[in-house]
Structure 1
Amino acid sequence: MTKNGSLGVTLSGALARTQTAARVPALSAAAGRAGEVAWSGVAHAPWAGSPTPEHAFRIGSVTKPMVAVAVLRLVAEGAVALADPVGRHLPDAPAPDATVRQLLTHTSGLQAEFPGPWWERHGGPTWDELVRSGVEQIWDPGEQYHYSNPGFAVLGRLVEVVRGRAWDTVLRDELWGPLGMTATGRVPVGPHVTGYAVHPHADLVHHEPVAEYRAAGPAGEVWSTPSDLVRFGMWLVGGEADRDAGEAVLPLALRRQMAVPRVVVDDAGPAGGPWPTAHGLGVRVRQDGTVRTIGHGGSVPGFTADLRADAATGDVVAVCGSSTHGIGGGAALLAALQGAAPPVLLPLRGSGDAVGRGAITGTWYWGPFPHTVSVDAAGRVDLRSPDGGRGTVFDDVGGELRGVEGGYWLGERFEVRDAGDGAPALDVGTFHFTRAPYDPATAVPGGVDRRGWHRPGSAG
């Protein structure tokens, strides 16, 4: 769909170039301007079926700002206060002394992932299982930013307990329906794409499982289309066409409070560098050059999503992909929408295994995603992605390897799993790393495609 011929040509070209360069089976996007979805399009590999802009993708953590809206509606009604310790409403919650505000800003101190196998592929816990699982509180509430999926499971549970119905039902009734997001749901409500892992070094693919997340759902279980996400983004920054309907969902003053930068996202690792991202109440506030955007990114095995809304102009873009390998894409598309030359995002390439199979150093894969492990003279372990997006240094803390400097895994455990006659694996804050992409000898959580890595489009 396009309502502007030249705009459609520009954006479609940018989308096609990115899809080809990043080797994503299907890449779908939409752009919004002046309260309307101005363009949507899909670029895809010839073997990936015939997806249309109406096909839904799993959007991962873009679920989180939607859950935040449900929480803030409770705040607007006086049922909950941002300063309330969450234990006042959920006595069995992990980190009961953390406030609702701290959970929304990822400063509750809770660990990044759910205990147990890789939940995004294996499946999430029930609430009772989550309570019994021993979710770690690594820091005192408010001590520092640490992204936490369990924290949003707690917020989803808060919505359920106060409202008396499932969190996704609340979102359907109070957010998706009023904003016309008819293709959005906890499960697909219309046509949807298949999610794949794409081999980083060969033209091979691997089907990804779609696990049930149960109590972990508020952290990233929703399906949507880029057009629906654009509608949500325009509303977030007050650019919706129907202002009365938008105010009924949440007053603009509270939406603006969501977008206030409250904590720096310091995921750059020990190398340091500028801080382009902050976190508000359930949303990421990013500085893309001179443009400040409000939104969130998302990824679960088989899918990625990126939502960015220009807080000043109301221009919004959303990009959804059907590959585990994340490319972002929102900044490039927004630049194209606003007249700048769009960069093409290239796929990451691994460096190859530099040492023997049994050594800890060299290349390891999180799914198809290469990372490098090195060990310095003091014996500290450095794990990072080739693009520098994630990196953490681990050292001995009380007899365990724990993240001690920078990045996503700060405070998390680094463990080497001895697979006996099988292949070695790493468990880093429940992330499963193997020497080869999805090595079946390591008991990959959620299992592997029965055909293993195979040519796309082959029968089986």
Structure 2
Amino acid sequence: MSGSDQVSRAGVRSVLRELRAARRVPALSAAAGRGGEVVWSEVAHAPWVGTPTAEHAFRIGSITKPMVAVAVLRLVDEGLVALADAIGEYLPDAPAADATIRHLLTHTSGLQAEFPGPWWERHGGPTWDELAASGVEQLWDPGEQYHYSNPGFAVLGRLLEVVRGRAWDKVLQDELWGPLGMTATGRVPVGPHVTGYAVHPHADLVHHEPVAEYLAAGPAGEVWSTPADLVRFGLWLVGGEADRDAGEAVLPLARRRDMAAPRVVVGDAGPAGGPWSTAHGLGVRVRQDGAVRTIGHGGSVPGFTADLRADAVTGDVVAVCGSSTLGFGGGAALLAALQGDLVRVPLPPGDSHDTVGRAVGRGTAGPGEITGTWYWGPSPHTVSVGAEGRVELRSQDGGGRGTVFDAVDGELRGVEGGYWLGERLRVCEAAGAPVALDVGTFHFTRAPYDPATAVPGGVDATGWHRPGSTG
């Protein structure tokens, strides 16, 4: 190993440990790829979680989506479908039947962000028949607006099943995971795996997160994998795989480059009028980290967050997976460290908390009001109401989702920016006072996972508890 490799590995290891400590992630596992190979992998973890290894799998959430996209593009290459085809030609009962396959891959179908009903990531997903009958809203005409949509990828997964005649994950196993040597990747864990937790934002307490079955929603984010397997996928995405013949057999490099071309700017990715920082290709995120353009995707489901970034020019790749709902801030700092630039991307700020734990207030709002602090799981958000009655929901860490809501046809709808543009905000009351917010089906409470409310998927039977304890 050369001296420069020793320096870069030491830098990545240092950043990994700092990220874990700053965000109090129970287990944070990372891997790096260069020159067609996985060159480094390591796990940083709290003492109480045992001894997870680089072979332990994590849920990777929406990193499932670019894998589904690859399988869809294989259909295109075989002439079985075309990007310009309306999805209704193949799935007459699909929501947004007038949207094309290209619209679905680029999140421009106009479909709402989440599945109707309770918070599906904790509660569980619908069957296809339930999804088709659920009244998924088409908020815009196809091509009119970028709007990230999980139901859109459920539709693409169903397309794979109908055309191929087998389950979407079997298609990925046969056509992607197997050929690329991703032996630790599957719809369910195929080997050792970690437990996912919510980490309290203000105290050293944790909460077990449920692992629900996603059914037809699975193509939106159900897969388990390891950082090393994700690095193999990332190397292949940018044409950096060691076995070029095997890579071409999965999908030609020209098609992969077409897949990674930025096609639509992600509207909530930066200040209005500034340069874009995030765009979307055909199922992949294209991110501009300073002068470095990366191809990949992020992912999150309760208990887990993950990030994959592949440098489109050098072929360097990092993947990182964590076992905390709140996340770790993404993989940009790890890629910077791998490339010997320890100052290009700052580490995310750590959380302010007491080791003993302080009492968590239920917000500053009086009865009948919704202003103050609300928690989406463990993530604190602030709700404010302007003079004209417009409601703003904003993440307190500065990097999360934020949207302005206003009255539209008698209900609050997102009217400016962010993930919940076009989505509903509904106030849930008990005894005449607001106790929860339903924001695009996500459940917000005055305290993290307030057990006095109907938290979809339920709450840990032991409640918030000290790490390593049973209650």
TM-score range, shorter chain: over 0.9
**In 2, Cα distance between equivalents of 1:419 and 1:164:** 48
Deviation at 1:341, TM superposition (A): 1.1
- Alignment match, 1:346: 349
**In 2, Cα distance between equivalents of 1:420 and 1:270:** 41
Instruction: Give the % identical residues.
Output: 81
- Alignment match, 2:157: 156
Greater Cα shift, 159-168 or 382-391: 382-391
1:456 equivalent in alignment to 2:467: yes
1:372 to 374, 382, 405: 382
Letter in 2 for 1:412: E
Deviation at 1:49, TM superposition (A): 1.2
Letter in 2 for 1:428: V
8 Å contact from structure 1 (residues 278, 285) kept in 2: yes
* Structure 1 alignment gaps of length 5 or more: none
**In 2, Cα distance between equivalents of 1:49 and 1:2:** 33
8 Å contact from structure 2 (residues 462, 470) kept in 1: no
- Alignment match, 2:76: 75
> Secondary structure at 1:440's aligned position in 2?
coil
Deviations for 1:39-91, whole angstroms, at most 9, x for unmatched residues?
00000001011100000000000000000000000000000100000000111
1:355 equivalent in alignment to 2:365: yes
Change (3 A) 1:237 1:262: same
Change (3 A) 1:272 1:384: farther
1:6 equivalent in alignment to 2:7: yes
Deviation at 1:357, TM superposition (A): 6.0
Deviation at 1:6, TM superposition (A): 3.4
**In 1, Cα distance between equivalents of 2:145 and 2:352:** 32
Deviation at 1:347, TM superposition (A): 3.9
**In 1, Cα distance between equivalents of 2:75 and 2:244:** 21
**In 2, Cα distance between equivalents of 1:203 and 1:48:** 14
- Alignment match, 2:202: 201
Deviations for 1:401-455, whole angstroms, at most 9, x for unmatched residues?
0001111100000100113489700001001000000001111000000010000
Q: When the two structures are superposed, what TM-score results if normalisation uses the length of structure 2? A: 0.95
Deviation at 1:359, TM superposition (A): 2.2
Q: When the two structures are superposed, what TM-score results if normalisation uses the length of structure 1? A: 0.97
> Secondary structure at 1:424's aligned position in 2?
strand
8 Å contact from structure 2 (residues 107, 152) kept in 1: yes
Deviation at 1:391, TM superposition (A): 1.2
8 Å contact from structure 2 (residues 427, 434) kept in 1: no
**In 2, Cα distance between equivalents of 1:451 and 1:118:** 21
Letter in 2 for 1:144: Q
**In 1, Cα distance between equivalents of 2:2 and 2:415:** 49
**In 2, Cα distance between equivalents of 1:164 and 1:455:** 47
Between the two proteins, the alignment pairs up a number of residues equal to: 460
Letter in 2 for 1:411: G
8 Å contact from structure 2 (residues 270, 277) kept in 1: no
> Secondary structure at 2:49's aligned position in 1?
coil
Greater Cα shift, 381-390 or 75-84: 381-390
1:133 equivalent in alignment to 2:134: yes
1:436 equivalent in alignment to 2:438: no
Deviations for 1:186-208, whole angstroms, at most 9, x for unmatched residues?
00000000000000000000000
8 Å contact from structure 1 (residues 111, 412) kept in 2: yes
* Structure 2 alignment gaps of length 5 or more: 354-359
> Secondary structure at 1:47's aligned position in 2?
helix
- What pairs up with 1:115-126 in 2 under 5 angstroms? 115-126=116-127
Deviation at 1:459, TM superposition (A): 2.9
Letter in 1 for 2:40: W
- What pairs up with 1:265-280 in 2 under 5 angstroms? 265-268=266-269, 273-280=274-281
Q: Cα RMSD between the aligned structures?
A: 1.9
8 Å contact from structure 1 (residues 30, 226) kept in 2: yes
> Secondary structure at 1:255's aligned position in 2?
helix
